[in-house]
Chains A and B, each alone.
Chain A
Amino acid sequence: MLTIEDLHVNIGDKAVLQGINLEIKEGETFILFGPNGSGKTSLLMALMGFSGYDVLKGKITFKGVDITNAPMYERARLGVGMSFQRPPTIHGLRTRHLVQMCSRKGEINPELLADIVNMTEFLDRDINAGFSGGEIKRSELLQLMAQQPDLVLFDEPESGVDMENMQLVGKVARDVLDGNFNVTPDLSLKERKKRTKTAGLIITHTGYILDYVNADRGQVLYEGQLCCEGRPRDILDHIREHGYQECVRCMN
């Protein structure tokens, strides 16, 4: 589904990614570990196509389409969805309206979706205006449910979220990846089943999200390079025990 080949990305003069190779298969959930400043967020931003992330070399292929230089909206329409860490407030744009605009795949019912993430009372508020950490995550999930992407880029689902919210965020994140939610009440069982699983690329620091999602593979990003591929649980245990310093040795 997603293939990254020898990806080199700069922010200005600074090299943030230096030869990333990664493949994520349809419906697969991939966990990205790494210390602060290792380039995890940059990888997500480059995959989504944000300005300021200059691809110097390499190729990104999604569903067989070369999207290395595609504008953001084309990637989104092709099926790449992203949960933002710090989304901007847009004055006068109601959450409900944005949720509706996200749903390019067909009619959705904002009330029904909002109910799942406990965001009903936010539908008529300006998007992200005064939202807490947990509310931002829930609002991002709400938009992703409306968007129904085939690949979700999720930057630190647990950041700024208290334990109570984490339960909800984790559960809904799993449902999004499993395609296990209702966009409209009148969708037939057959239509529901037809929806395939969603692939995920998730960044985590704490690993809390692993308690909720079925992660297939994981890898550590360190100083712009990927290393230490393995089962996410094992990687997490390893990092907890030895720290990221081990990765340097592992690479050498």
Chain B
Amino acid sequence: MSKVDLSEFKFDGLEQEAIGDLTELSQEDQDQLLMAGIVSDLGIRSASYLQMDQSTVHCKSTNDDVEIMDIKDALEKYDGLKEYFWTLVDKDKDEFTQAAHDNLHGGYFIRVKAGAKIKEPIQSCLMLKSENVGQNVHNIVIIEEGAEAHIITGCSVAHGTKSGAHLGISEFFVKKNASLTFTMVHNWGENVAVRPRSAGIVEEGGKFLSNYVLLKPVKDLQMYPTITMNGENSVARFNSVVVAPEGSLLDMGNRVIMNAPNTRCEIIARTIAAGGTIINRGHIAANCVPSKGHLECQGLILGNGRIWAIPELDGTAEGVELSHEASVGKIAQNEIEYLMARGMDEDEATSTIIRGYLNTDIMGLPPKLQEAIDKQIEELQMSDAM
């Protein structure tokens, strides 16, 4: 597969000044962040975190039940976070995990206190501001027993920034009967290399719901988060909507390991290659019964491009129920004709079908973010890419 040469990027010396408020950012940068679901109006967020290049520039919680801080501060406060830090991701996994281990720039630590049901989403943003910057972050998310929260993570380049490298370690801990909705929106640039390395564990009765949206070009992205369901009655669900225009190379997917009885998971990825390449992975392993898992890798190639779907199921006990559906194709002629019979011309019919295909209603996103996503889909359809 592709290679990212880390020596091309500046991993040192790109610190940024702290800001008191996200409204201090330029309007253009605020607009960039909005595309990734990050709002400047903190009244509709319960906590906010912003990493710019190699510094944490903003970090604030307006809810006592949400602790949010720079990971470095958290390591100091909690004596190295021994139970959490580097416990799910192996620091020696590859050169990217090593880089993040050896030269940590920041990242967020989010802890939602036991029993707290956090209404407004928590937002965090990892931003590449300087041209050619290399960014190493490590994020820890802990949702304590019985707590509920929605975290929106927007990863974005600043206005005008085209190239950079983002290496991000994320470790998620969803405790007993806790629920985490984690929505990630990527708004990278044409020359950005991205290497997230993520893993999470879900305990008894816990819920991990993940939404992922990528509608903008990115040079090279590779990620394959693994969620291990260690507790009975836990649920994991992944929804991804991904577009790869010309020049984008995406190697992405989700892996779920069901290690307890009465677990359920679902992975659904809808991908469009419009000139770019997508490797659409999915892996569900079930080691206990009863357990139920369903995997969907749907792919549309528009114009040209490549989609390589790799769905994998691995059951190791009698009675597991695993299924998958994978498809790579073009827009079905009978769908186009159905809409043409209602009076739409071919272009209208095609764009209506694509809009439906990319529909993210099911994710239940907050209105501002949904608007931002709808706007991007509209722009995408106006562009030559599709």
Binding site for B on A (CB under 8 A): 48, 50-51, 71-73, 76-77, 81-82, 84, 87-88, 90-93, 98, 101-102, 104, 126, 143, 147
Question: Which of B334, B338, B358 is close to A92, meaning CB atoms less than 8 Å apart?
Answer: B358
* A71 and B345 contact, Cβ closer than 8 Å, known pairs A88-B332, A92-B357, A92-B361: yes
Beyond the given pairs A51-B333, A126-B356, 13 more chain A to chain B contacts, judged by CB atoms under 8 angstroms and listed by A's residue number, are A71-B340, A73-B341, A73-B345, A82-B341, A84-B341, A92-B356, A92-B361, A93-B352, A93-B353, A93-B359, A101-B339, A101-B343, A147-B342
Q: Which residues of A contact B334 (CB under 8 A)?
A: 88
Interface residues of B in 311-370 (CB under 8 A from A): 332-335, 337-346, 349, 352-353, 355-359, 361
Smallest beta-carbon distance B197→chain A, Å: 31
* Closest chain A residue to B355, Cβ basis: A92
Smallest CB separation, B35 vs chain A (Å) = 21
Per DSSP, chain B at the interface is helix
* Shortest Cβ gap from A192 to chain B (Å): 22
A interface, over-half SS: mixed
Residue of B nearest to A98 (CB): B342
| Option from B270, B333, B340, B358 in Cβ contact (under 8 Å) with A76 | B340
Which residues of B in the span 357-386 have a Cβ within 8 Å of any Cβ on A? 357-359, 361
Known contacts A88-B335, A90-B356, A76 near B342 by CB under 8 Å = yes
Q: Complex Cα distance A48/B339, Å?
A: 12
Are A72 and B356 in touch, CB under 8 angstroms? no
Residues of A within 8 A of B352 (CB): 90, 93, 101
Nearest opposing residue in chain A for B298, CB measure: A91
- B344 contact set on A, CB distance < 8 A: 73, 101
Contact A77 B333 (CB under 8 A): no
Is the CB–CB distance between A91 and B359 below 8 Å? yes
Q: List the A residue with the shortest CB-CB distance to B335.
A: A88
CB of B30, distance to nearest CB on chain A (Å):
29
Taking a contact as CB atoms closer than 8 A, the residue among A72, A91, A92, A104 that contacts B341 in the complex is A72
**Bound complex: CA A51 to CA B336 (Å):** 11
Please state if A76 and B357 are interface contacts (CB–CB under 8 Å): no
Name the 4 nearest CB pairs between A and B, nearest first. A92-B359, A92-B356, A93-B356, A72-B340
Q: Which of B332, B342, B358 contacts A102 (CB 8 A)?
A: B342
- CB contacts (< 8 Å) of B359 on chain A: these are 91-93
* Per-position binary interface string of chain B over residues 72-85, scored 1 when its CB falls under 8 Å from any chain A CB and 0 otherwise: 00000000000000
Cα(A76)–Cα(B352), bound, Å: 17
- Determine the chain B residues whose CB is within 8 A of the CB of A90 once the complex forms: 335, 338-339, 352-353, 356
30 contacts between A and B (CB under 8 A): A72-B341, A73-B340, A73-B343, A73-B345, A73-B346, A73-B349, A76-B340, A76-B342, A76-B343, A77-B343, A81-B341, A84-B341, A87-B338, A88-B332, A88-B334, A90-B335, A90-B352, A90-B356, A91-B270, A91-B356, A91-B357, A91-B359, A93-B352, A93-B353, A93-B356, A98-B339, A101-B344, A102-B342, A104-B343, A147-B342
Interchain CA distance A92-B358 in the complex, whole Å? 7
Residue of A nearest to B354 (CB): A92
Using CB atoms, name the residue of chain A closest to B362: A92
| Min CB gap B376→A, angstroms | 15
CB distance from A11 to the nearest CB of B (A): 14
Q: In chain A, what residue has the closest Cβ to B358?
A: A92
Q: Closest residue to B332 on the A side, CB-wise?
A: A88
Residues in chain A near residue B343, CB distance under 8 A: 73, 76-77, 101-102, 104, 147
- Interface centre among B340, B343, B353, B356, by most chain A C-beta atoms within 10 angstroms, is B343
Cα A98 to Cα B361 in complex, Å, equals 16
* Closest B residue to A128 using CB positions: B338
CB of A178, distance to nearest CB on chain B (Å)? 22
Return the chain B residue nearest A83 by Cβ: B341
Q: If A93-B356, A104-B343 touch, does A72 touch B337 (CB 8 Å cutoff)?
A: yes
Bound CA span A82–B342, Å:
8
Nearest A-chain residue to B270, judged by Cβ: A91
Residue of B nearest to A144 (CB): B342
Query: What is the CA–CA distance of A140 and B356 in the complex, to the nearest angstrom?
Result: 19
When distances are taken between beta carbons in the complex, the residues of chain A under 8 Å from B338 are 84, 87-88, 90
| Bound CA–CA A87/B345 (angstroms) | 18
Assuming A92-B355, A92-B358, A101-B352, is B342 touching A143 (CB within 8 A)? yes
Q: Cα distance A169–B73 when bound, in Å? A: 67
B342–A101 contact, CB under 8 A? yes
List, in ascending order, chain A residues with CB within 8 A of B270's CB: 91
